[in-house]
């Protein structure tokens, strides 16, 4: 299972990469605009903190297939390897996904709201499929659609990986990991919430208080 961080904050990626096995970072136009930085700044800072083996995903802005393909090449040229382009699964985006894969680019199909959209993008060659789990939950059953997608891919032999996105709580992530999801991309606060269970610190404090009371120190 691959764990990605959905953020434009390179410092957070560096910090969490020390704590967790992070496969890379995903960004989108909204995340970048909210960062107060230019896309060029975000890309440069991310490339600085990511190892060569960690992937970076950035999204096209053009809405026509020709423009998307041109931007896809520009994005993928930012790094020697492990630089991937995100392309929405619009009609024009589906065209661009096919063209980008024909050119050998790493492609993530994004803005997915149904298992069917994702499956068709996989047939077009997309390497990663990003269903918007929480947004789909608001419209019906996001987790269920993601699970359907896993079965559809397994049944067809397609090699695309599902990189589930748009989470609002830890339980949504838990359900998909338990079902064998290939990848998730998490907002940093969700990633931290999965690590920092309050009862763990309470237990550690109890152990160390007992140790200090017995031996007069808080070290071995």
> pLDDT tens digit string along 70-88?
999 999 999 999 999 999 9
Contact call for residues 42 and 13 (beta carbons, < 8 A)? no
What are the backbone angles phi and psi of residue 162, rounded to the nearest 5°? -85, 120
Number of domains composing the chain? 1
**Residue 220 in domain:** no
**Confidence check: pLDDT of 126 > 90:** yes
The predicted pLDDT at position 95 comes to 98
Is 86 noted as a catalytic residue in this protein?
yes
**What is the arithmetic mean of pLDDT over 145-151?**
94
**Residue 113 in domain:** yes
pTM score, two decimals? 0.94
**Residue 177 in domain:** yes
**Confidence check: pLDDT of 140 > 90:** no
**Residue 57 in domain:** yes
**Residue 196 in domain:** yes
Instruction: Dump pLDDT digits (tens) for 34-58.
Output: 999 999 999 999 999 999 999 999 9
**What is the arithmetic mean of pLDDT over 110-119?**
97
Query: Domain span at residue 123?
Result: 2-215
CATH of the domain at 146: 3.20.20.70
The predicted pLDDT at position 10 comes to 98
The predicted pLDDT at position 132 comes to 95
Q: Give the separation between CA 68 and CA 19, rounded to whole angstroms.
A: 35
| Residue in 37, 55, 81, 86 annotated catalytic | 86
Q: In Å, how far are 11, 21, 25, 124, 126 from 65, measured between CA atoms?
A: 34, 35, 25, 14, 15
**Residue 49 in domain:** yes
């Amino acid at each position: 299972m691959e764990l990605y961080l959905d953020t434009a904050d390179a410092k957070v990626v560096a910090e969490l990469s020390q704590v967790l096995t992070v496969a890379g970072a995903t960004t989108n136009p909204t995340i970048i605009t909210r960062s107060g930085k230019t896309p060029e700044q975000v890309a440069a800072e991310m490339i600085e903190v990511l190892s060569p083996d960690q992937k970076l995903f950035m999204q096209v802005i053009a809405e026509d297939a020709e423009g998307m393909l041109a931007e896809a090449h520009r994005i993928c040229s930012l790094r020697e390897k492990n630089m991937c382009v995100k392309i929405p699964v619009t009609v024009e985006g589906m065209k661009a996904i096919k063209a980008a894969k024909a050119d050998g680019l790493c492609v993530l199909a994004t803005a997915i709201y149904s298992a069917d959209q994702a499956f068709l993008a996989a047939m077009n060659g997309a390497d990663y499929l990003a269903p918007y789990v929480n947004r789909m939950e608001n419209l019906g059953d996001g987790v269920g659609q993601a699970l359907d997608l896993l079965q559809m891919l397994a049944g067809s032999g397609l090699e695309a990986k599902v990189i589930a996105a748009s989470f609002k709580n830890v339980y949504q992530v838990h359900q998909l990991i338990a079902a064998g999801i290939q990848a998730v991309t998490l907002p940093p606060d969700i990633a931290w919430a999965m690590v920092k269970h309050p009862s763990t610190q309470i237990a550690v404090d109890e152990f160390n208080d007992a140790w200090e009371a017995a031996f007069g120190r808080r070290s071995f």
